[in-house]
C-alpha cells in the first residue's frame, strides 16, 4: 500500500509537493467510478490501480516497458542535435517517472535519425542491460533497402563476416537473405555504431532505407503507426527476458 501522492510521484506526475497539490485541488479521480480523492495520504493498493489525472486515464505500472514505432527524422536522445527527440512522442509523465534522478524511461539502444521501426523504452535498468549487452545475443531483424542490386556474393560475405574499421574481428550477420533485387533482411545480435550501414558498405553496397521489424520474439504491430507507442504486456516482457537469462 502506498500513499496516493507517492503513487503519483512514482508515475512521473511531478515532485511530491506538486502531486500533493494535484490531489488537494481535486484533479485526481480513482477507479472506474471516477470518484475524486482529495486526501494525498490515502493509502491504496498499487497493482491494478487505475486513476485519472486532470481528465487523463492512467494505469499504475511499477516499471515501464514500452514499444515505440520510431518514425524517420527523430533522434534517440534527450538532447537532440538536429532532429526532434523521440521522447517528445511520449506523454510527459513517462519522461519524468521516478523523479529527476531517474530521468524517466530510456531508449533500449538507439536507432539512427533516418532509421524507422521497433524501439523499446524502459526505466528498468536490468532490463535495458539485458537487451543491449552483446553477451546476451538478442537477435534484431532489419529490413534494408539498398542502392545497388544485391548478389549472392554480398549476402555470403555478410554471413561469413566483414571487418569494420573499429574492430579487427569479423562481424557476422546471424542471418541474411535477399528478399528482392534491392531488399535485404539482416538479423544481428550486436549493436555497434551504424552497424548495418557499415556492414552493407563493406560488401560494396549502400543502405538507402533501414527499418527494424523485430527484437527477439517481439515484432512491430501492424496497426501501430509511426510515432505511436504502447505498453508491453507482461507476457511480452517475460518472453523477451527469458531469451536472455544468464
For 18-55, write each residue's pLDDT tens digit: 999 999 999 999 977 788 889 999 999 998 999 999 99
CB 191 within 8 A of CB 33: no
CB 162 within 8 A of CB 203: yes
pTM for the predicted model, two decimal places: 0.92
Give the model's pLDDT for residue 140: 95
pLDDT at 103 over 80: no
Averaged pLDDT score across all residues of the chain: 92
Class of domain 139-215: alpha beta
Answer yes or no: CATH 3.30.70.580 is held by domain 65-134+218-242: yes
Q: DSSP per residue over 174-237, as a string? A: SEEEEEETTEEEEEES---TTHHHHHHHHTT--EEEEEEEEETTEE--TT--TT-EEEPPHHHH
User: Domain limits of the chain?
Assistant: 2-59, 65-134+218-242, 139-215
Can you say how many angstroms the Cα of residue 230 is from the centroid of all Cα atoms in its chain? 10
- Give the active site residues: 112
pLDDT at 137 over 50: yes
Print burial letters for 16-38: b (CB count within 10 Å at least 16), e (below 16): eeebbebbeeebbbbeeeeeebe
Which grid cell sits at 158?
A: 555478410
Same fold? 2-59, 65-134+218-242: no
pLDDT at 63 over 60: yes
Length of the chain: 246
Class of domain 2-59: alpha beta
Can you say how many angstroms the Cα of residue 53 is from the centroid of all Cα atoms in its chain? 25
Amino acid at each position: 500500500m502506498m500513499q496516493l501522492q507517492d503513487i503519483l510521484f512514482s508515475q512521473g506526475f511531478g515532485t511530491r509537493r506538486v502531486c500533493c497539490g494535484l490531489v488537494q485541488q481535486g484533479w485526481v479521480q480513482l477507479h472506474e467510478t471516477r470518484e475524486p480523492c482529495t486526501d494525498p495520504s490515502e493509502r491504496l493498493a498499487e497493482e491494478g490501480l487505475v486513476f485519472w489525472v486532470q481528465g487523463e486515464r492512467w494505469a499504475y505500472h511499477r516499471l515501464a516497458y514500452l514499444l515505440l514505432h520510431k518514425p524517420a527524422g527523430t533522434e534517440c536522445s534527450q538532447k537532440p542535435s538536429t532532429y526532434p527527440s523521440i521522447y517528445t512522442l511520449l506523454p510527459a509523465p513517462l519522461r519524468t517517472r521516478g523523479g529527476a534522478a531517474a530521468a524517466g524511461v530510456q531508449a533500449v539502444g538507439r536507432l539512427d535519425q533516418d532509421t524507422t521501426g521497433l524501439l523499446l523504452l524502459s526505466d528498468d535498468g536490468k532490463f535495458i542491460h539485458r537487451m543491449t549487452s552483446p553477451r546476451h545475443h538478442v537477435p534484431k531483424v532489419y529490413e534494408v533497402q539498398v542502392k545497388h542490386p544485391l548478389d549472392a556474393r554480398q549476402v555470403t560475405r555478410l554471413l561469413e563476416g566483414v571487418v569494420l574499421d573499429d574492430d579487427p574481428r569479423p562481424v557476422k550477420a546471424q542471418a541474411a537473405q535477399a528478399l528482392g533485387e534491392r531488399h535485404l533482411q539482416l538479423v544481428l545480435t550486436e549493436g555497434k555504431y551504424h552497424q548495418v550501414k557499415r556492414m552493407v558498405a563493406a560488401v560494396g553496397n549502400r543502405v538507402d532505407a533501414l527499418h527494424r521489424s523485430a527484437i527477439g520474439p517481439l515484432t512491430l504491430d501492424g496497426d501501430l503507426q509511426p510515432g505511436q507507442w504502447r505498453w508491453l504486456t507482461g507476457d511480452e516482457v517475460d518472453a523477451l527476458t527469458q531469451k536472455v537469462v544468464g
